[in-house]
Structure formats: C-alpha cells, structure tokens
Amino acid sequence: MNDQLQRELTRAFERLSAGAPPPGLAEGALRRAGRTTLVRRVGAAGAALAVLAVAGATAATLRTTAAAPGPRTTAGSSTPATRPGTVAVTAYGCGGGRVDAHGQYVQDDSLLLDRTTGRYARVPYCQVLPSPDGRLAAVFRSGSERVGILDVASRQVRWIDGYAGRPAWSPDSRTLLLTGGPLVQGQAAKSDPANIGFVLVDVRAMRSQFHPVAEAANGFGSAAVFLPDGRTIAITGCACTPGATHEGEWPVTHISLYDLRGALVRTLPATQGLWSAAAFSPDGTRMVLGPQLQYGTVRVQVADVPTAAVRRSVLLPQDSAFVGWYDNQQLVVLTGVSDRTGRSARLVVVDLAGHPVRTVPLLGDPVARSAVDILLGPATGLPGTATATVF
C-alpha cells in the first residue's frame, strides 16, 4: 500500500468515526442484558432466553377474557379508567435492576397490579409473575435463587424450600411449575443432570414434587410451560453445541411434551421455541413460537396447540419483543426496547400480519419505563377507578 493511501485511509476512518458516544450506554446495556439474563439467573436448568418467557404474561388468564375491547385508557396519567379494556398490564418487573436518575442501581423494585384496587403496588422483588387468577405471584429477590409465592392482597410471601427454577403457573393457578431442580447448599445444582428437571409446587400445601427431565438442561436454556389443558408440560429442545456461547448457536429443533409425572408423551418438530404461557392465544388453540434472539428483526410463528403445526409467520415491528396476545387475532409487542432511556418503550397491538393496530404508552413510573418483564392479564373485573395500564 502506498503511503498516501494509507494516510488517507487513516484520515477517512477518523472522519468516519467522529462523534461523541450517546449517554446512558451502561444503563442501556444493563437493561438489555437484564432482559436476556434474568431467566439464566433464576433457572436451575441453566441459561435461557428471556424474550418470551419473562414477558411471561399468563395466557391462561387471558383465556378467561370475554369482554369486548373497551376504549383505550391514558396509561400513566392520573385519570382513572372509566371502563376497562380487554387487557391490563398485571406487572412491570425490573428484572436485573435499573439505573435511577442519580445513576444508582435500584434492585428489587417492581410494580404488581392489585386487582381489587386496580392500582399498582410497588413490591420489593426483581421479578414478579402473577398467577392467572391474579391472587398470587411468583417472586424473586436479586442475588437469590429462592422462589417466593406472594399473596397479593396480604403481601405475605411464602418461600419455596429446597427447590428453585424458572417459574410458570398452571392455568388454574394451583400449581407453580419450576424449570430447575433441588437446591444443594442453597444453590441450584446445574451441573448434575439428575438434579435437572421440573418441579411442581402445590401452592396451597406448599408441597413440591421434582421430576428429573434431562431435556430441561438442554440447549440455550429450557422453559417448562403448562399447555392450556393443564395436564401437559412442554419443553423446547435445542441442538446443543458444546462450548457455544451465543444464543444463535442453539437452534430449536423440537418441542417435547411431558405428562405431570415427567414421562415423555410426544415430540413435535419445531424451529422456534415455546418459552412461556404468554405464547398461548386466549382461546388456547394457538401459540406463538419465537426465536431465541430478542432484538432486531423478530419473526414469530403462530402454530396450532398442541401439534406445533405452523399456521403463519409474523414479522414483528422492528426493535420489538413479543409480550402476549391481545385477543385471538392480535398480538401485543413491546417496541423501543433498545432505547436506553426507556422513553421510546411502548406496547403495540399488531394483527397477525404484523401490522400495528394501535399503540399503548407504558405507565409513567420509572419502574415501568425500565421494566424487563411486562405481563398481561384480563382487564375484566377491574374497578372503574383502576389506574392500571388497561387497553
């Protein structure tokens, strides 16, 4: 290379790279990482992508929704909703924490909908997963693998002894399903296949039953999810590449169905995964199968339950993540998720062609704006004075 070209090339790069970095990079990275690492932290089965799972809206709850769509509320304003809509945000979870206006990290700070008042309660947990009936919530605290069951009305928590894992509720709210296993000396024994599987916790009696399932340690991370029938548990299987560290290196190959005793019932071919109960349509006949990647261009599949036969492919709006179903014909996505300030984050209802139908702003609270988990439930039954995000 001649000297002139080399000199000019260096100059060109210097001109090309001029510009100050944007503010809030660390905060943005933590928010983004929180969305994808939360499940890794809480799941004894190992890492799993949080995109669909921690969005974790309880679709079983949505199945009970029968109300016609109501007028949109002014979310985040102090004006009470006069009439509930179809869907409400039941929790805003802060996930791995957030950075407040003073640059300090705030952990264990989430918003949980109290259905009796229609208002959000600030709760000291980093992850909250409301039960389909809204009376309980699975909760986590930062730095701990233990799973608690919060009584929303009394705010009392009962901690599950001996087991930990990624949570999912049964459709009847009676059983909490953990993808994980026994705790050994207070830690999830992730390296021992005999200790990986799923745990069924009878939340009334607080009795836990562990079923070892090797596949629960599969691939990029698995999430056991109840099918709408309440008798079948689905686990997404991936092709495992030893030493792989990137989510793209764990392609989804199938979805396995197990009975409640941990026996394999059926294996369905699949190319995208089932990560949470939020994937199920309100009528329980279809499910959204999603990619492992959370950001950028996201294409999801709408498939039959339980065969996983793909009926259509939906390209979600740019920079969005699937949150749940609005009704049997429309999905809810969270867009603007990579915005470091959270100001662009909003919910968008899209049709099954992926076209935006309407936009719903998030609650004005900083927790909502930086939430990594946005969970949906039915708006039915909320009091008329509800200030929750209802749409």
Partner 1 sequence: MDPEMRADFTAFVASRSASLFRTAMALTGHRQQAEDLLQTALARTVRHWERIRDGRPEAYVRTAMYRQCTTWWRRGRERPTDRLPELPGPDAMAGVDLSLALIAGLRQLAPKHRAVLVLRYLEDLPTEEIAEILGCGASTVRSQTARALDRLRQLCPDLTAPTAVQETSP
Q: Does 4 bind partner 1 (CB under 8 A)?
A: yes
Least gap, CB of 331 to partner 1 (angstroms)? 22
175: left (phi over 0), alpha (psi -120 to 50) or beta: beta
* CB contact set of 306 (below 8 Å; sequence gap of 6+): 227, 229, 232, 234, 257, 266, 268
Least gap, CB of 340 to partner 1 (angstroms)? 7
**Does an H or E element contain 29, and which?**
helix 25-42
Per CB under 8 A, the list member of 93, 97, 221, 273 interacting with partner 1 is 97
Distances (CA, A) of 69 to 66, 282, 335: 9, 14, 21
Per CB under 8 A, the list member of 93, 96, 130, 342 interacting with partner 1 is 96
Q: Does 11 bind partner 1 (CB under 8 A)?
A: yes
Number of residues that bind partner 1 (CB under 8 A): 44
With contacts defined by CB under 8 A, name the span among 28-36, 84-92, 112-120, 213-221 that binds partner 1: 28-36
Per CB under 8 A, the list member of 121, 193, 295, 317 interacting with partner 1 is 295
Q: Does 36 bind partner 1 (CB under 8 A)?
A: yes
Distance CA 228, CA 214 (A): 23
Q: Does 18 bind partner 1 (CB under 8 A)?
A: yes
Least gap, CB of 94 to partner 1 (angstroms)? 13
User: In degrees to the nearest 10, what's the CA dihedral of 171, 176, 178, 184?
Assistant: -170
Query: What residues numbered 133-192 form the site for partner 1, per CB under 8 A?
Result: 142-143
Query: What amino acid is encoded at 367 in this protein?
Result: V
Nearest alpha carbon to residue 273 among 232, 318, 197, 222: 222
* The two structure tokens encoding residue 200: 């069924």
Which residues of this chain interact with partner 1, rule CB under 8 A? 1-2, 4-6, 8-22, 25-26, 28-30, 32-33, 36-37, 40, 96-97, 99, 103, 105, 107, 142-143, 248, 295-297, 338, 340
